[in-house]
Amino acid sequence: MALSNYSTDFSGLLDKQQIDALSVLYTVLLSFSVTGSCSVLLVSAVRWRYLRGQVQLLVQLALADLLAAVVLLYTSVMNKVYPYSSVTACPYLLPLSLTFYLISFLLVVVYAWKSKNAIQGWRERAADDDEHCQCDRNIIEIPVYAFVWLVPFAFYFTYVCTLLIKLAALVPTNDVSQDGLIEDGSSYCNSCILFLHLWQDPCADADAQHNTFIRVFLVITAVTVMLSCSVIYCKVRKWYERYMHDGLFPVEGDGHSRRQLKTVFSTARNIVLVIVFCWLPALLLLLMSLTIRKSVKQSSLYGLYVIQAATISLQGFLNSMVYAWRRPNFTNAVLGENTPLLRYNRRAFFEESLRR
């Protein structure tokens, strides 16, 4: 982050009070996400034997959300307690948090795809075939999970390397005071807030190309994940409606299978809603910074900054609710409850098929 060119007019940018309020908001709400993700990880470790296969993807998702929240929480706390200490680390920490959010995005897509395969195969595979394919699925999942974690980190390290090369080539043009600040705009230029320096400000000129890359890449990724999950779950819904219309779902027990499937689609709907809720405000902010930043002042969009800070900060908490604590098979496994009279050896219900 450049510390030169402070003579530029800072009017129209967020002021110190607004930045402090955003730091407090991030700190408070990110603590909920850290708590939610930690609870899932802790319970999954304790009840690993009962959760079985479903915990593999669940733990990775909770871990990605936790790491993203922890990095973002650290920058928010440092920005509030001692804002000038994170100046040099900010260009690396904020992209790192976005890297973990990207991993979470990819895991969400993997979860949607596994859900589709599970629900569309729970009555169409023979029991012997299902057991035989289990080893094959485990072998296939290993490179998938490796791709999900390694590719985002490859992008991040490439970003860091190019940033280091560019910063090393910069020659300071202005002398800076002992604490590295000049009164006008100092609090703004030394603040480490997500998406703060994506606007037209003099602090990010040295890294304008990297900021543009982050904006474009994040917009494309978030939109792709939203569309992918929506399409997958819509196909699952159509598959279910077709089978219901053909009468291929007999009532078993006291209608347990029908209730289970309705719970599944409620969970699928909530998954898509969480993604849209958490990232739609951020996407609007990023699109505005790409298209109309010259005609709209940043300070006039302070309300949108507050909304996107709140929604992104709650992603880990909402994911812990949707993927874990609101799912009957997770809570039943945690509480040690089961329904043996309604459990069939030949065919598991969708929620239980994710355990395998």
Q: Residues in the chain with pLDDT < 50?
A: 1-7, 122-132, 171-184, 204-206, 250-254, 339-356
Q: Chain-centre distance of CA 241, in angstroms? A: 30
Does the residue 4 lie in any domain?
Answer: no
pLDDT digits over 64-84, tens only? 999 999 999 999 998 888 766
Does the residue 3 lie in any domain?
Answer: no
Does the residue 8 lie in any domain?
Answer: no
Q: What is the SS3 string spanning 19-32?
A: HHHHHHHHHHHHHH
pLDDT value of position 36: 96
Question: Where residue 74 sits, what CATH number does that domain have?
Answer: 1.20.1070.10
How far apart (Å, rounded) are the C-alpha atoms in residues 2 and 189?
8
How far apart (Å, rounded) are the C-alpha atoms in residues 262 and 214?
39
pLDDT digits over 230-287, tens only? 887 777 777 766 766 655 554 444 455 566 666 667 777 788 889 889 999 998 988 8
By the 10 Å C-beta count (0-12 exposed, 13-18 middle, 19+ buried), 217 is classed as: middle
Does the residue 312 lie in any domain?
Answer: yes
Does the residue 247 lie in any domain?
Answer: yes
- Tally of domains in the chain: 1
Residue 189's nearest CA partner among 179, 177, 202 is: 202
Phi first, then psi: give them for residue 108, nearest 5 degrees.
Answer: -65, -40
Q: How far apart are the first and last CA of the chain?
A: 48
Does the residue 161 lie in any domain?
Answer: yes
pLDDT value of position 173: 42
Structure tokens at 274: 């969480």
pLDDT value of position 297: 81
- For 81, the enclosing helix (H) or strand (E) is helix 54-81
Does the residue 2 lie in any domain?
Answer: no
How far apart (Å, rounded) are the C-alpha atoms in residues 342 and 252?
8
> In terms of residue numbers, what domain contains 71?
16-171+182-336+346-353
Does the residue 164 lie in any domain?
Answer: yes
97 close to 71: Cβ distance less than 8 angstroms: yes
Structure tokens at 306: 């507050």
79 close to 21: Cβ distance less than 8 angstroms: no
